[in-house]
Amino acid sequence: MKKRTCRVLVVDDSAFIRQYLKEIINQTEDLEVVGTAADPLKAIQILKKTDVDVITLDVEMPNMDGLDFLRYLMKFRPLPVVMISSWTQANSDIAVQALALGAVDVVAKPTLGLLSGMEKIKTEIIEKIRTAAQASIVRSPLVAEPPASPDSTALLVKSDGLKITTDKIVAIGASTGGTVALTEICKQLHPDVPGLLIIQHLPAMFTSSFANSLNQIARIRVKEAEDGELITSGLALIVPGDRSLTIQKSGAKYVAKLGPKLKDSIYNPSINHTLFSVAQVAGVNAMGIILTGMGDDGAAGLRAMREKGAYTICQDEKTSVIYGMPQKAWENKAAVKQVPLSKIAEEIHRWAGIK
């Protein structure tokens, strides 16, 4: 008898996908499908009478789409969710929205050659379900009622990233759960905050949409990084998926240098790769932050930053969806302080001298 430690509910309107996911999940020793549903309404009925640890969820389904169901879950019964859908560049905004609503991760379902395509991503699906099972899920801040219209002055102070230059720089690395964490941080940042580099583990098709979503809620500018771009105050650059990024000094300013995907790293973009560069180029004028995520990417780079005199912190365990990356940074003595998510923007302001 196989030992079952993670109970999975599969929600997808395709009978083939439901059966395929059930088979590959039940073939593992630590996962078990305890139910399948063709739409969210049937899934709700299963949840009422069955203990579930992780849900795999499609987007386009009858009766209620996946995003509406995700909102329902995060409000009434927060559970780890892995979105499995036919993501394309055209609907990558939906993937980013799903992550912002609280989904732990997303998997791109093949659009052609379904069986052979699913076989290629089988390992990815299993690993992301396992990661989701370790996630600490709380109600997503985006599930709450939307706030009143933003004060007009808040819109007017949105920086164009060029009015004020600074020789300080903030580098933030994140993975699983990072999209929600970065959303909360960016909403709180002052328009004159030093230039930021954000290294979030995301596929290439999602980083531009994620940057756009942050830009809509922040008082700073947020965009996907371009090669040769100046890193100035009031501007946050997100490293594109499947690329690498380092920085160079140009007078008192910093310049982003994009490179190809790293062949010797399982992470692209690589947090370590960027943080090593920041350590060498910016030294004491840099601040490094490691947020929620699985694995150890960023721990070595953050340690290098600390050794060069940078101020380094990591997210605390209580507010991390996955404590893996912050824990490794802390154990590696890379971070001088563990900070709850709600206080990280405040920590950036304090370091930058912003009141």
- How far is Cα 185 from Cα 142, in angstroms, rounded to an integer? 14
Residue 30: active-site member: no
Catalytic residue among 39, 53, 201, 209: 201
Q: Widest CA span of the chain, in angstroms?
A: 66
Please say whether the dihedral angle defined by the alpha carbons of residues 312, 178, 316 and 128, taken in this order, is positive or negative: negative
Annotation marks residue 65 as catalytic: no
Catalytic residue among 159, 297, 316, 320: 297
Please pick, among 159, 175, 277, 320, the residue that the annotation labels catalytic: 175
Catalytic, 201? Answer yes
Q: Which residues are catalytic?
A: 175, 201, 297
